[in-house]
Amino acid sequence: MSLFDWFANRQKSEPVTQKRQEREIADGLWSKCEACGVLAYTKDLQANQMVCSECNHHLRVDSDERIRQLIDAKTWKPLNEEISPIDPLSFKDRKAYKDRLSDYQQKTGLTDAVQTGTGLLDGLPVALGVMDFRFMGGSMGSVVGEKLCRLIEYGTQEGLPVVIICASGGARMQEGMLSLMQMAKISGALEHHRREKLLYIPVLTHPTTGGVTASFAMLGDFILAEPKATIGFAGRRVIEQTLREKLPDDFQSAEYLLKYGFVDAIVPRTQLKATLAQLISLHQLSPIAPGHHHNGDRVHYQHHNEPKKIHRDAMQVLEETD
């Protein structure tokens, strides 16, 4: 029996005192599943990609953890890290937007609610955007919009598939119209990407709502979702009050959306990387993918990714570390 097993068994047979438990949760040694309440050793939970092994609940993961889960080690290259938000409207609610921003920047170590970059996913080059719900609820302001837009444009220019992990409460009201216009801006960039016959896959995680759902979250070639994720535009209460109708209990869940065709597949997090790799490989083999040449009526199947610069860089890193 490993020391960890022994510790886990001891944990089961002799429940720790409330105080000690709270202290260890605060230290990050143990994590409590918010769905079933079972305590799990944080390292075990991380090894299972933050999915509870008792009840299969998908706990929230931040953008750093998500990048570790999806991108091959040492191949991640962040893009546009220097872009940071300003307060164009001098907005103030209970707190000045300026102060709110610097609080979240300190708390998360991020400049805003998205990380973008390139890397290898099971050896396949991708452009990846990962929203971070910890930063003002993953709300989409000018920086989120600009970084995603530049990521997609980079993907178009370099012939890369784009994957965006969505997690958002919607548009960022503190930036007013400037935040709303990001929806159209990102959708426009995606259209250029699409015209080059490149692949775009949004992954909807809990929660994906508001302006994100109303734009790039729903514009994918394949739309994937995590189990039980809340996905919607307006909140349940707003819709019920507007329609004066009671909505079904599972309304706005990934499963409900799958049933009605808004989502193409629900993929458990532990299978996400393999699924994305499979979809990207299949797309590269398809005759419509860029780089395929018709020779008479014969189609040559080949990988369309000429070793462009990013790919070469990433491969070089891999070779150096081998």
CA end-to-end span of the chain, whole Å?
33
Among 8, 16, 35, 219, binds Zn ion (CB under 5 A): 35
Contact residues for 20 (Cβ-Cβ < 8 A; gap 6+): none
- Judged by beta carbon, residue 31 or residue 168, the one nearer Zn ion is 31
* Cα–Cα distances in angstroms (integers) from residue 228 to residues 73, 93, 153, 266, 271, in the given order: 29, 32, 31, 9, 15
d(CA 200, CA 162) in angstroms, rounded, equals: 5
d(CA 84, CA 76) in angstroms, rounded, equals: 20
Among 31, 33, 66, 126, binds Zn ion (CB under 5 A): 33
On whether the CB atoms of residues 169 and 210 are closer than 8 A, the answer is yes
- Judged by beta carbon, residue 36 or residue 299, the one nearer Zn ion is 36
DSSP string, 17-49: PHHHHHHHHHHTSEEE-TTT--EEEHHHHHHTT
d(CA 222, CA 134) in angstroms, rounded, equals: 26
Q: Tokens at residue 291, please?
A: 């780089």
* Window 275 to 304, contacts with Zn ion (CB under 5 A): none
Region binding Zn ion by CB under 5 A among candidate stretches 3-11, 45-53, 147-155, 264-272: 45-53
Among 6, 7, 20, 36, binds Zn ion (CB under 5 A): 36
- Judged by beta carbon, residue 131 or residue 229, the one nearer Zn ion is 229
Instruction: Number of residues interacting with Zn ion: please give it, by CB under 5 A.
Output: 7
- Judged by beta carbon, residue 55 or residue 282, the one nearer Zn ion is 55
- Give alpha helix (H) positions in 48-175: 63-70, 97-108, 142-158
Largest CA distance in the chain: 76
- Judged by beta carbon, residue 33 or residue 212, the one nearer Zn ion is 33
* Window 63 to 92, contacts with Zn ion (CB under 5 A): none
Region binding Zn ion by CB under 5 A among candidate stretches 25-33, 146-154, 260-268, 299-307: 25-33
Region binding Zn ion by CB under 5 A among candidate stretches 48-56, 97-105, 272-280, 285-293: 48-56
- Judged by beta carbon, residue 52 or residue 279, the one nearer Zn ion is 52
Q: Give min distance, CB of 21 to Zn ion, in A.
A: 16
Q: Give the residue from 201, 206, 207, 252 showing the smallest Cα distance to 224.
A: 201
- Judged by beta carbon, residue 59 or residue 143, the one nearer Zn ion is 59
- The binding track of 49-68 with respect to Zn ion, each residue x by CB under 5 A or -, is ---x-xx-x-----------
Region binding Zn ion by CB under 5 A among candidate stretches 29-37, 69-77, 158-166, 292-300: 29-37
Q: Residue for token digits 């719900």?
A: 133
Region binding Zn ion by CB under 5 A among candidate stretches 33-41, 143-151, 190-198, 221-229: 33-41
- Judged by beta carbon, residue 35 or residue 173, the one nearer Zn ion is 35
Per CB under 5 A, residues contacting Zn ion are: 33, 35-36, 52, 54-55, 57
